[in-house]
Copies of this chain bind each other. A is one copy, B any other.
């Protein structure tokens, strides 16, 4: 099991993504890793990612969930074929839909942890569920449907 982040294994596509691109200096630059059948990312908000005083912005939470989960879908597709990410032929998934439930305010002064897993693979679609934690507290849950584009 490699410890290189999923986002550091893609070749060109997505390396500038605002949510997860490794080369976007204005972006969130999340790093996601496999841990067994789950993917995990830990990320430290900056003070300007605030919603109201003390709480992480819901749109930033949606961005974290979207990018972590879509990276999970893409990585799972390679894994299902027994291949390393980035090997030919390339596989690409984009988000078709996203839903997020905000369970409680997420503190902005501590790191958040995202945990995702594949719920279902059917045809060109992969459904991924994801939860966001602050410490041991689950603050948000989400689900995406990722769609294969090539």
Contact B18 A48 (CB under 8 A): yes
How many monomers of this protein are in the complex?
A: 2
Q: Binary interface profile of A, 17-60, with partner B (CB < 8 Å = 1, else 0)?
A: 11101001111100000000000000000101111110001111
> Which residue from chain B places its CB closest to the CB of A99 in the assembled complex?
B99
Interface of chain A: mostly helix, strand, loop or mixed: mixed
Q: How many angstroms between the C-alpha atoms of A21 and B99 in the bound complex?
A: 23
Distance of A69 from chain B, by nearest CB (Å): 11
Contact A57 B63 (CB under 8 A): yes
Contact B100 A98 (CB under 8 A): yes
> Which residue from chain B places its CB closest to the CB of A101 in the assembled complex?
B97
Contact A63 B52 (CB under 8 A): no
A100 and B97 in contact (CB under 8 A), knowing A24-B50, A59-B66? Answer: yes
Give 16 CB contacts A-B under 8 Å.
A13-B52, A16-B50, A16-B53, A17-B50, A17-B51, A17-B57, A19-B57, A19-B59, A57-B63, A58-B95, A62-B63, A63-B63, A96-B102, A98-B99, A98-B100, A99-B100
